[in-house]
Chain A
Amino acid sequence: MVSLMSTFRLRLSREMWHLRARQRQRDLTAVANRTGRIRRGDILLFSTLRNERIRLPYFLDYYRRLGVNHFLFVDNGSDDGSRDYLVRQPDTSVWVTHQSYKRAYFGVDWLNGLQRRFAHGHWCLTVDPDEFLVYPFCDTRPLRALTDWLESSSVRSLSAMLLDMYPQGPIDARPYREGQDPFEIACWFDSGNYQISRNGRYGNLWIQGGPRSRAFFADQPQSAPALNKIPLVRWHRNYAYISSTHMMLPRGLNNTYDRWGGEKPSACLLHAKFLDTFGVKAEEEVRRGEHYAQSREYIAYREQVAQHPDLWTRWSQQYVNWRQLEILGLMSKGNWA
């Protein structure tokens, strides 16, 4: 009875998310709609961004190489030329909005709406412009090999933990050039300081930790940002993200981990946040106050960034490839061989 009630409640809340998404669709104006070119079986990428011009060339290049067929962007009022750049690409569709990021539940509503319209029946990757997917065998097998295999194994969603990458020395010491692989600069990560617990209501794992916890949130670990993400989903129009890509409804999609000792397949999202662009971003985001929990994350950063923090320690690991992440236990091949 209890479980019936909770199922009903979750269903109701899912409908609410869809309703919100529909309302927030009014915020969006299409400036380049090439969705007519999406073919059956194409892999789609969804992203919200603001002033990320310098990152875009490498981002598009990276995901095109993996085999993404079409990009759908929501541009939240960029003024650095991001929009013009995206519109010029042959495989993008771009929507613009000047409405509040916060009111659209940090972009979730915008993307849920677009996904409901365009992603039904497609494998669909939802990432920020500073997140780069690394999955098992990504050096030899394209993304389609993964999605084909997931589909044949009746898996609908793949988890990919956010792995914060940082440079050695102050994060603003080496400037990032357009088109450059950000992990030439930020090639270090923490391999084993993550805290995991299970969210009983939605069934997802809640992962925190890494360099951000260690350096910025050692005194208030509960406020450290969540690192669990479910970016790759075979979309159905009834699905909805409910908190960034950290969790989804229906909650079966959050069930990306094995509970009886085995390992399900998983991936990592390398997070190129800690580059020289970070200080400016933190400053701006604190001023706008458009981020989660009164932007407390960015407030914490800003205080530290002024002191040119060095996230590097002698226990930091230098990134090599996906096999290294697999051996360290940050991701798993599962039974894909």
Chain B
Amino acid sequence: MTVGFVMLCHTALDRAAQVARHWAEQGCPVVIHVDARVRQRVFREMRSSLADLRKLVRFSPRHRCQWGGWNIVAATQEATSLMLREYADVNHVFLASGSCLPLRPVSELAAYLDERPDTDFIESVMTEEVGWTIGGLNIERFRLFFPFSWRRHRRLFDLSVRVQRRMGLRRRIPAGLVPHLGSQWWCLTRQTLAAILESPDRAHHDRYFRRVWIPDESYFQTLVRRYSSNVESRSLTLFKFDFQGKPHIFYDDHLSLLRRSDYFVARKAWAHADRLYEAFLAPKELRPPNAEPNPGRVDRLFSAAKERRLKGRAGLYMQSRFPVDNFENGKTAGRYSLFQGFAELIPDFQNWLAQITDTRVHGHIFGPERVEFAGGETVYHGGLSDSAKLRDYNPKSFLASLIWNTRPEHQCFMFGPADNQKINSFMAADPNAHIFVVTGAWAVPLYRSGLPFADIRREAARLQRVEMELLELLNLHWVKAHVRIWSLAEFLDHPLEPLQTIVEETAPRLRPRLTSAPQVVDLAGFGRFLQDLRNHGMQPMVMGDYPASDMFHTDDRQNRPYLVS
């Protein structure tokens, strides 16, 4: 009992010949089909290079194979018939391509098959219930007509599919056949192949499959269900399709991965992968026999590649990943928090926050003078400069870079109406953003600035306008950021409550419990200041109900004379 190999080749014939020699020298018959499009001279070279193995290497009649066409099946049929006819001791036929690479010695494969003499190894998935294909048609491959080539006349191909769908056109599937799809690379028993190839219905089946689209992935896969009693629906050939439906290619650096896969054959190896061919075509050391093929690690590698190509890394903007708005799959790389108004009320807020939440706390990184990085650095992670001009040239790149460069550290920064506001809508739409605002707190430093009142009034009006725009934005229905807003009065009324909220949300894993609030600035006279603004026509809108007396929690508030000026 032995296993015979049928090889379908169309490029890199020197490699195919090398592999054929490898198999034949271990006593396995090989039947090679070379695409009719390969030039005669190249074909003759291959044949003469294998001339010394004439007994075990045969060439089958050449067909012109086009991708997705019938001729691949016809070539396989003829090569297989030749194999069955010429080599009576072949019990399993292994279908391989010219770019397949044998990973384990043939003796191991033969032993493996000898233990399973009646098993047909062929991936065969019922089309109606499971979509096997990567994009493209499934059951319609069997039900529609395909007069146009998908490769050369894609538009006509698509149009004809659409028209047939619209017209409800359906081919009748021959009785007794249930459409199955699967990989082209199988290993079938003599019994099953003979039944398929010598079936009285073969002419009928061939006629039908001639017009099925990509019959090499359905002909044997469907017929085996009718003629075989023991189908093991998996391939002994290691192959992986990428997201475009073309096979992944193996290179020299996959050597150890392939060794550990325990598959018998891999498709497909890069023709110039010298080390791979050298390593696997060399005489083998003995290994523990009967190891089962195990795709685990290869699967992981290639699904990671697919994920990288389709989803990318969240929050990364770079030369080959520049998503349009709202298709970022993660606008930024990690969570970050923005605090507006806190540093104005609590002088030591930055240090306090850093200590309690164990995060990186920056100053106003969108400040008008410069970027206030933590620790007053002039250059930060990744080489970000503290130049305000450079930052304002592209604020979105700046923020995304900062979060990307410092991942996975949580970044906190101060914000305020005096800062660059161009980035607001980006942050509002970002689920990673945590925005905490104490409205009206910007007035406190103004009050304490000692500037002439006319300047203060003008500045207060400007800052209030900016802050109200932000509040309006944060109220919109599409906002994805986590937003918490307190008015100045609310905050001062019970400072501990908002502070507990911000530390909990900033450091959810630490869950710090606050027992006392940090020192708040002295606000004596601030109520009077607000009234002065009011008196000069600058209505403070965002401070909440700030008591004119600056006194919160006075039980006798009602009893005391309330000064209205």
Contact = CB atoms under 8 A, between A and B. Distances in A.
Interface string B308-344: 1111110011111111100111100000000000000
A272 to B, nearest CB: 18
A111 B470 CA distance: 52
B301 A337 contact: yes
A258 interface: yes
Centre residue among A210, A211, A221 by max chain B CB count within 10 A: A221
A214 B327 contact: no
Contacts of B248: 337
Decide if the interface of chain A is mainly helix, strand, loop or mixed.
loop
Contacts of B310: 261-262, 335
A144 interface: yes
A152 interface: yes
Interface string A224-235: 000010000000
A324 interface: no
B309 A257 contact: no
B223 to A, nearest CB: 30
A264 B320 contact: yes
Contact of A219 (B244, B273, B387): B387
A155 B305 CA distance: 17
Interface in A157-194: 159-161, 190-194
A209 B384 CA distance: 9
Interface residues of B, number: 53
B242 interface: yes
B387 A334 contact: no
B327 A153 contact: no
Contacts of A145: 251, 270, 272-273
A263 interface: yes
A207 B511 CA distance: 41
B165 to A, nearest CB: 26
Interface string B229-248: 00000000000001110101
Given A193-B384, A266-B320, A335-B305, A213 B390 contact: yes
A333 interface: yes
B319 A228 contact: yes
B385 A193 contact: yes
Interface in A225-277: 228, 256-266
Interface in B340-393: 379-385, 387, 389-390, 393
B321 A315 contact: no
A148 B313 contact: no
Contact of B319 (A217, A259, A261, A266): A266
Nearest to B257: A337
A219 B328 CA distance: 30
B390 A332 contact: no
Nearest to B388: A218
Interface in A106-131: none
B241 to A, nearest CB: 11
B319 A137 contact: no
A64 to B, nearest CB: 16
A148 B252 CA distance: 15
Contacts of B285: none
A264 B389 contact: no
Nearest to A160: B319
B385 A218 contact: yes
24 contacts: A137-B251, A142-B272, A145-B273, A161-B318, A192-B382, A193-B385, A195-B397, A196-B317, A196-B397, A198-B322, A214-B390, A218-B387, A220-B389, A221-B393, A256-B319, A258-B312, A262-B321, A263-B321, A264-B309, A313-B383, A315-B379, A315-B382, A337-B302, A337-B304
Interface of A: 137, 140-142, 144-145, 148-149, 152-153, 159-161, 190-198, 205, 207, 209-211, 213-214, 217-222, 228, 256-266, 313-316, 329-337
The 3 closest A-B pairs by CB, nearest first: A192-B382, A190-B383, A335-B309
